Amino acid sequence: MVKVDLKGVASATVKGKTYYYAWRGGPRLTGEKGSPEFLASYNEAHAQRVAPDGKRFRGIVTLYKASADYQGLAPSTKKNWSIWLDRISDYFGGLSTAAFDRADKIRPVIRKWRDTYADHPRTADFGIQVLSRVLSYAVDPLSSITSNPCAGIKPLYSANRADIIWTADEIAHLKRHASPEIGFAVDLAWSTGLRRGDLLRLSWSHIGADQIIIATGKSNRRREAIVPLYDDLRDVLARIPKRATTVLTTTKATSWSVEGFASSFAKAKERAGIEKNFHDLRGTAATRFYTAGLDERVIAEIMGWEEDHVSKIIRRYVGRNAATQAAILQLNKIERRT
């Protein structure tokens, strides 16, 4: 096999297998490294990079990767999406872009691809999410197709976790099987409603005299979560020792990595025999705020949600029983005034 020096080739090793890419963030190369197939895929990728062929769907994927829309994503999001963009290009790349303008013909093909991941519904739905974004880009601004054929494809995984909230007893039980550092994170999560990533980077400088203000990672720092410092939250913060610039730390007084925290939390949850997720503490906080009688605008501000979507999101997070209790509370207040 002839050894050829190919400039810019990037590699990544996943579960012991090495994958090669035409450039960092570029399309995945096929064939054994150094083989004619490998060289051909490298040359094709660079030809597409110079002048992507919009008539084939792999060209649309290449154009999307170079777009401001994709480049503006958070680094962690780009890393996750890059894997799926390669899968999409591998599977659909040889199809004509025009084929995606015939929804009745292409939807069964999309569903067939989605169903190869059906054993992991959230994974399958994530793949559809990425494909849908590329197709939306093909609609506008590229005008390569007239509509997005992913529209109307129902998700496999139900995202409604309204009835999966943590009870006070469950929180106390978990904390008995966890380190104090994990306990601090749990208390802060259900008291603030902040996402895990935002909690782990929350610093003492984000905490003012009357509120916590932090730009949310999910919005790529475009929106802020503004959490009022009510008495219970002040008590939680007072119990957490100040050992680093971040509020939450490991037992070694260093800031958490996402992976390190996820592993430690999973072990504590396993010891406690609890199936609920850390993210469900966010739903617990939303339920708490709702049943306390806070209006939707205030809840949106605390949770870092867009206000025009808050009603829909509250229905996803707040269970029917909690909503009923909130209604009773409000009606009783009205009755006492009359």
What are the structural domains, with CATH classification, of the chain? 1-51 (no CATH), 54-155 (1.10.150), 168-337 (1.10.443.10)
338 residues of the chain, pLDDT tens digit each? 445 567 778 887 877 788 888 777 677 888 888 787 888 777 777 666 655 566 889 999 988 988 888 888 878 788 889 999 999 999 999 899 999 999 999 999 999 999 888 888 888 999 999 999 999 999 989 889 999 999 888 888 765 555 577 888 999 999 999 999 999 999 999 999 999 999 999 999 999 999 999 998 766 767 888 999 999 999 999 999 999 999 999 999 999 998 899 899 989 988 998 888 898 898 888 888 887 878 888 888 888 877 666 676 666 666 656 656 666 666 666 555 55
Entry pTM: 0.52
| Cβ-Cβ contacts under 8 Å for 319 (sequence gap 6 or more) | 162, 163, 165, 287
**How many Å separate Cα 207 from the centre of its chain?**
25
Nearest to 219 by CA among 127, 333, 119, 307: 307
Q: How far apart are CA 144 and CA 135, in angstroms?
A: 9
**pLDDT given at position 1:** 45
Structure confidence at residue 241 (pLDDT) = 96
Q: 313, 161 in Cβ contact below 8 A?
A: no
The pLDDT assigned to 92 comes to 95
Strand locations in 34-111 (E): none
What pLDDT, on the 0 to 100 scale, is given for residue 29? 84
The b-or-e profile of 8-44 (16+ CB within 10 A means b, else e) is: ebeeeeeeeeeebbbeeebbbbeeeeeeeebbebbeb
- pLDDT value, residue 42: 78
